[in-house]
């Protein structure tokens, strides 16, 4: 969905969090829009879960402001915030039935018993657990527990649903299945979802926007495509997917064009949009494996081509990864080729031509 014109749901203003001497959140700024599927992505210890827990109200912040739906949350306790959480362990109450778990938040709801029971049944149906109400909660499988946790949180119609690595305990098949279900569910209920994950693929698949976090700071906040194609730093580029880094020298900079000499690729003109602000590092250009193509027989490159020698072949079934030395240099790039009929898997040592496009290059410096 396009969320650019949506009103702001959550706003962080210079949020800091200390645990004793440990600086867990180092000046978080940013907004999350209403109805958005937003992910906090980062390696473990980057502060993503801490940030989520400050939204829920389980952690106080040391300084700064968190606004939810226009209200400062500084003096609002966890149990009165318009957020609900799906915990990593699901936190299903083991001494209650599925229906009692799902209906737990309705205890103070003024509706009649029958109306509440209907709401519980509806919530269970929404997560695909119709008729499970009478089952004992501790006898459920991992996937079912997660659904109960979702139903229990969503029945209260929160403004924001917080998900703390909800898929990490599931096996791969189940995880992929639940990713799609969560996206569908989010579209159906229209509630703002905030997902914490360390799995970049999961974040890319599910989110409208992603905040990539390192060491208590947001390194980049963008939609998945921007994050993947135009990461604003080498670190983000490295964390999300695979990227080849090729040493380069900046020759000239004029208007919105940057002229570089990339080792093994030669002179390239890069659009300023693909050159995020300089950080004072030695310049490299980044190229995703799938933007490089091996040329077979008399195929011609659409834009540029470079010669190389295959150093390593990694066969994946549907894909083959090749590590290729570029143009007689020690620069090695990884590229991926789809294994289609009539396209043989090449051997190590084969001399190849590699096609690439200057527009796919990102310049980090």
Partner 1 sequence: MKKGSGLSVYAILYLIFLYAPILILPVFAFNDSQVVAFPLKGFTTQWFGEMWADANLRSALFRSLVIALCTASLATILGLFAARASVRYNFPGKTPAMGLIMLPMVLPDIVIAMALLIVLLSLSVPLSMLTIIMGHVLLCMPFAVAILTSAFQSLDKSLEEAALDLGETRAATFRLIILPLVMPGIIASFLICFTISIDEFVLANFLGSGKPVLSVYIFGQFRFPAKVPSMLALGTILVLFSIILLGFAEYMRRRGIAKAGGKDSGGFL
Q: How far is CA 310 from each of CA 23, 197, 294, 304, rounded to the nearest angstrom?
A: 46, 36, 10, 19
Q: Which of 1, 43, 93, 272 binds partner 1 (CB under 8 A)?
A: 93
CA–CA separation, 137 and 99 (whole Å): 9
Q: What is the residue whose two structure tokens read 């318009």?
A: 82
The DSSP annotation for 83-126 comes to EEEE-TT----TTSBHHHHHTGGGTT--S-HHHHHHHHHHHHHH
Q: How far is CA 10 from each of CA 31, 55, 72, 260, 278, rounded to the nearest angstrom?
A: 6, 9, 10, 41, 30
Q: Interaction with partner 1 in 136-165: which residues (CB under 8 A)? A: 138, 152-153, 156
Interaction between residue 117 and partner 1 (CB under 8 A): no
CB of 58 to partner 1, least distance (A): 6
Instruction: Lay out the site mask for partner 1 across 61-80 (x = CB under 8 A, - = otherwise).
Output: ----------------xxxx
Identity of the residue, 116 or 152, whose beta carbon is nearer to partner 1 in the bound complex? 152
Interaction between residue 107 and partner 1 (CB under 8 A): yes
The DSSP annotation for 134-170 comes to TSBGGGS-HHHHHHHHHHHHHTT--SEEEEESTTTTS
CB of 153 to partner 1, least distance (A): 8
Q: Which of 51, 52, 55, 85 binds partner 1 (CB under 8 A)?
A: 85
Q: Interaction with partner 1 in 154-213: which residues (CB under 8 A)? A: 156
CB of 236 to partner 1, least distance (A): 30
CA–CA separation, 267 and 248 (whole Å): 9
Identity of the residue, 84 or 293, whose beta carbon is nearer to partner 1 in the bound complex? 84
Q: Which stretch binds partner 1 (CB under 8 A): 34-42, 84-92, 233-241, 266-274?
A: 84-92
CA–CA separation, 12 and 161 (whole Å): 17
Task: Say if CB 36 and CB 192 are below 8 A apart.
Answer: yes
Interaction between residue 245 and partner 1 (CB under 8 A): no
Task: Say if CB 155 and CB 123 are below 8 A apart.
Answer: yes
Q: Interaction with partner 1 in 22-61: which residues (CB under 8 A)? A: 56, 58
Q: Which stretch binds partner 1 (CB under 8 A): 89-97, 170-178, 200-208, 249-257?
A: 89-97
Q: Which of 3, 49, 50, 84 binds partner 1 (CB under 8 A)?
A: 84
Q: What is the CA radius of gyration of the chain?
A: 25
The DSSP annotation for 291-326 comes to G-EEEPTT---SSEEEEEEEEEEEE-SSEEEEEEEE
Interaction between residue 83 and partner 1 (CB under 8 A): yes
Identity of the residue, 133 or 308, whose beta carbon is nearer to partner 1 in the bound complex? 133
Residues in contact with partner 1 by the rule CB under 8 A = 56, 58, 77-80, 83-85, 87-89, 91, 93-95, 104-105, 107-108, 138, 152-153, 156
């Amino acid at each position: 969905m396009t969320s650019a014109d949506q009103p702001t749901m959550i706003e962080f203003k210079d949020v800091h969090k200390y645990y004793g001497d440990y600086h867990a959140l180092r000046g978080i700024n940013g907004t999350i829009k209403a109805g958005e599927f937003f992910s906090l992505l980062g390696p473990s210890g980057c502060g993503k879960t801490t940030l989520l827990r400050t939204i829920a109200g389980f952690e106080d912040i040391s300084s700064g402001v968190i606004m939810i739906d226009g209200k400062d949350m500084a003096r609002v306790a966890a149990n009165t915030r318009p957020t609900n959480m799906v915990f990593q362990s699901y936190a299903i109450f083991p001494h209650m039935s599925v229906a009692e778990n799902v209906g737990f938040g309705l205890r103070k709801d003024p509706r009649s018993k029958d109306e509440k029971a209907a709401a519980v049944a509806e919530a269970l149906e929404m997560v695909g657990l119709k008729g499970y109400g009478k089952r004992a909660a501790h006898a459920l499988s991992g996937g079912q527990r997660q659904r109960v946790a979702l139903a229990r949180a969503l029945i209260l119609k929160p403004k924001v649903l917080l998900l703390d690595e909800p898929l990490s305990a599931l096996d791969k098949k189940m995880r992929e299945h639940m990713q799609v279900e969560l996206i569908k569910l989010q579209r159906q209920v229209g509630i703002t979802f905030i997902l914490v994950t360390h799995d970049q693929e999961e974040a890319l698949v599910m989110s409208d926007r992603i905040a990539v976090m390192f060491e208590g700071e947001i390194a980049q906040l963008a939609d998945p495509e921007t994050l993947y194609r135009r990461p604003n730093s080498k670190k983000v580029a490295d964390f999300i997917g695979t990227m080849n880094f090729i040493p380069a020298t900046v020759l000239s900079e004029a208007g919105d064009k940057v002229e570089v000499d990339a080792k093994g690729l030669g002179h390239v003109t890069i659009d300023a949009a693909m050159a995020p602000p300089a950080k004072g590092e030695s310049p490299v250009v980044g190229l995703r494996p799938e933007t490089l193509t091996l040329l077979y027989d008399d195929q011609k490159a659409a834009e540029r081509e470079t010669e190389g020698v295959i150093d390593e072949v990694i066969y994946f079934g549907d894909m083959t990864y090749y590590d290729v030395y570029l143009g007689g240099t020690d620069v090695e790039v990884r590229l991926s080729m789809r294994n289609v009929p009539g396209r043989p898997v090449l051997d190590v040592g084969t001399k190849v031509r590699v096609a690439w496009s200057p527009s796919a290059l990102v310049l980090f410096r």
